[in-house]
Amino acid sequence: MESKLVWTPHQEEGFQLGHIVDLGAETFTVQPLAKGTKPLQAVIDRVFPAEEFAKDVDDNCSLLYLNEATLLNNLRMRFKKKIIYTYVANILLSVNPYELYKNLYTIETMRSYQGVSLGLKPPHVFAIADKAYREMRGYRASQAIIVSGESGAGKTEATKYILRYLTELYGGSSSHIEERIVQANPLLESFGNAKTMRNNNSSRFGKFVEVHFNEKCHIVGGHISHYLLEKSRVVSQWNEERNYHVFYRLLAGAPGSLKKTLGLDKSPKNGFSYLNPASLKCPGVDDTTDFKNLVQSMKSVGLSDKEQEDIFRLVSAVLWMGNITFEEDSSGKQTISKVDKHGQEALTYTANLLQLAPEDLHTSLTSRVMTTTRGGAMGTIYQLPLKKEQAAYARDALAKTLYTRLFDKLVERVNTCFPFETSHNYIGVLDIAGFEYFQVNSFEQFCINYCNEKLQQFFNRRVLKDEQELYRREMLSFTDVEFTDNQDCIDLIEASPTGIISLLDEQCKLPQASDVNFTDRVQKVHSTHFRLLVPRKSKLIAHRNLRDEEGLIIRHFAGAVCYSTKGFIDKNNDALHDSLEQLMLESKDTMIRGLVADNVDKKVTGKLVFISIGGNFRRQLGKLMDKLYSTGSSFIRCIKPNSYMKPGEFQGGSILSQLQCAGMVSVLELMQGGYPSRANFNDLYNMYKGLLPPKLQRLQPRLFCEALFRALGMLPSDYAFGMSKVFFKPGKFALFDQIMHSDPDNLNQLIAKVEHWLIRKRWKKLIFGAISVLKLAKKIQFRNEHAVIIQKWVRMFLAVRKHRPRYLGIKKIGLLRRQLEQMSGIVGNLKENKDKFSAEIEGIQIAIVAAIQAIRDTPNLGRTMIEQKYKELQSMAEGKLGELLEQEVRQKEKEEAERLRKIQEEMELDRKRREAEEASRLAEEEEREKRKQEEERERVLRQELEDRRRLEEAERKKMEESMAAEMAKLSLLEAEEDAIRRQQEEQERMDYELACRIAEVEATTTSGGDVIETQNIAMESRLARKTLKRGANMKAKQQASSAKKIDLRKWKYAELRDTINTSCEIELLNACREEFHRRLRVYNAWKMKNKRRDDAGGRDANETQRVPQDIMQIAEQSGKAGGPPPLPQRTVSIIEDQKQRYFKIPFIRPSDQSKKGYRKKGWWLAHFDGQWIARQMELHPDKQAILLVAGVDDLEMCELSLDETRLAQKPGAEVLEKDFETVWMKYGGKSYTRPIQRAKDAATN
Give the C-alpha separation, 336 to 1075, whole Å: 81
List, for residues 749-760, the tens digit of each pLDDT value.
Answer: 667 777 777 788
Query: For the residues 681-704, what does the mean pLDDT come to?
Result: 73
- Kindly report the number of other CB atoms within 10 A of residue 279's CB atom: 18
Give the C-alpha separation, 1079 to 1055, whole Å: 13
Enumerate the β-bridge partners of residue 559: 556
List, for residues 143-195, the tens digit of each pLDDT value.
Answer: 999 999 888 899 999 999 999 999 999 886 545 776 787 888 899 999 999 99
List, for residues 907-938, the tens digit of each pLDDT value.
Answer: 888 888 888 888 888 999 999 899 899 889 88
pLDDT at 1209: 85
Q: What DSSP line would sit under 1037-1089, residue for residue?
A: HHHHHHHSS---TT--HHHHHHHHHH---HHHHHHHHHHHHHHHHHHHHHHHH
Q: Phi-psi category of 1014—alpha, beta or left, where left has phi over 0 and alpha has psi -120 to 50?
A: alpha
**∠ CA 205-206-210, rounded to 5°:** 135
Task: Phi first, then psi: give them for residue 961, nearest 5 degrees.
Answer: -65, -40
pLDDT at 1052 over 90: no
List, for residues 518-535, the tens digit of each pLDDT value.
Answer: 999 999 999 999 999 999
Give the C-alpha separation, 1206 to 1203, whole Å: 5
Query: How many residues does the structure list for the chain?
Result: 1245
Q: Is 631 exposed, middle or buried (0-12, 13-18, 19+ CB in 10 A)?
A: buried
Contacts of 489 (CB under 8 A, 6+ apart): 453, 531, 554, 555, 556, 557
pLDDT at 372: 65
Give the C-alpha separation, 1152 to 230, whole Å: 66
Give the C-alpha separation, 148 to 659, whole Å: 12
Q: Which of 122, 213, 651, 715 is nearest to 428 (CA)?
A: 213
Give the C-alpha separation, 1130 to 229, whole Å: 74
Reported confidence tier of residue 383, pLDDT bands at 50, 70, 90: confident
Give the C-alpha separation, 1214 to 1166, whole Å: 9
Q: Are residues 980 and 1025 in contact, defined by beta-carbon separation less than 8 angstroms?
A: no
Query: For the residues 749-772, what does the mean pLDDT come to?
Result: 81
Determine the angle formed by the axes of helices 68-80 and 652-661, rounding to 10 degrees.
130
List, for residues 1073-1132, the tens digit of each pLDDT value.
Answer: 888 888 888 888 888 777 766 543 444 444 556 778 778 777 776 655 444 444 444 433
Give the C-alpha separation, 836 to 454, whole Å: 132
pLDDT at 832 over 80: no
pLDDT at 720 over 60: yes
Distances (CA, A) of 11 to 41, 656, 1001, 1015: 13, 10, 15, 11
In 46-139 the beta strands, taken as DSSP E runs, fall at 48-49, 85-88, 91-95
Give the C-alpha separation, 48 to 1120, whole Å: 25
Compute the half-sphere exposure of residue 1091: CA atoms within 13 Å on the CB side of its CA: 16
- Kindly report the number of other CB atoms within 10 A of residue 521's CB atom: 16
Higher per-residue pLDDT: 1105 or 124 = 124
List, for residues 437-461, the tens digit of each pLDDT value.
Answer: 888 899 989 999 999 999 999 988 8
pLDDT at 798: 87
Q: Are residues 1164 and 1145 in contact, defined by beta-carbon separation less than 8 angstroms?
A: yes
pLDDT at 1038 over 60: no
First to last CA, the chain: 30
Enumerate the β-bridge partners of residue 339: 326
Q: Are residues 681 and 705 in contact, defined by beta-carbon separation less than 8 angstroms?
A: yes
pLDDT at 721 over 80: yes
List, for residues 78-111, the tens digit of each pLDDT value.
Answer: 999 999 999 988 899 999 999 999 899 999 999 9
Task: List residues forming the annotated binding site for ATP.
Answer: 149-156
List, for residues 216-267, the tens digit of each pLDDT value.
Answer: 898 988 999 998 898 989 999 888 899 999 999 999 999 999 999 999 988 7
Reported confidence tier of residue 1137, pLDDT bands at 50, 70, 90: very low
Enumerate the β-bridge partners of residue 203: 193
pLDDT at 322: 94
- Kindly report the number of other CB atoms within 10 A of residue 813's CB atom: 20
Q: Which of 1069, 1094, 260 is nearest to 672 (CA)?
A: 1094
Q: Which of 231, 222, 271 is nearest to 251 (CA)?
A: 271
pLDDT at 640: 93
Contacts of 721 (CB under 8 A, 6+ apart): 702, 705, 706, 727
Give the C-alpha separation, 606 to 575, whole Å: 12
pLDDT at 604 over 80: no
pLDDT at 62: 80
Reported confidence tier of residue 623, pLDDT bands at 50, 70, 90: very high
Query: For the residues 496-524, what does the mean pLDDT come to?
Result: 93
3-class DSSP assignment, residue 693: coil
Distances (CA, A) of 635 to 7, 88, 143, 225, 662: 28, 10, 11, 19, 11
Q: Are residues 1174 and 1061 in contact, defined by beta-carbon separation less than 8 angstroms?
A: no
Whether residue 497 has a cis bond before it, omega within 30° of 0:
yes
Average pLDDT over the chain reads 82
pLDDT at 208 over 70: yes
Q: Are residues 41 and 1 in contact, defined by beta-carbon separation less than 8 angstroms?
A: no
Long-range contacts formed by 643-646: CB under 8 A, 24+ apart: 643/198, 643/997, 643/1000, 643/1001, 645/98, 645/152, 645/198, 645/199, 645/200, 646/98
pLDDT at 1136 over 50: no
Share of the chain above pLDDT 70, in %: 86
Q: In what order do the strands lie in the sheet with 48-49?
A: 40-43, 27-32, 14-23, 5-10, 48-49
pLDDT at 1192: 84
pLDDT at 1147 over 90: no
- Kindly report the number of other CB atoms within 10 A of residue 878's CB atom: 11
Q: Which alpha helices (DSSP H) does 509-605 contain, by range?
A: 515-525, 541-544, 568-571, 578-585, 590-597
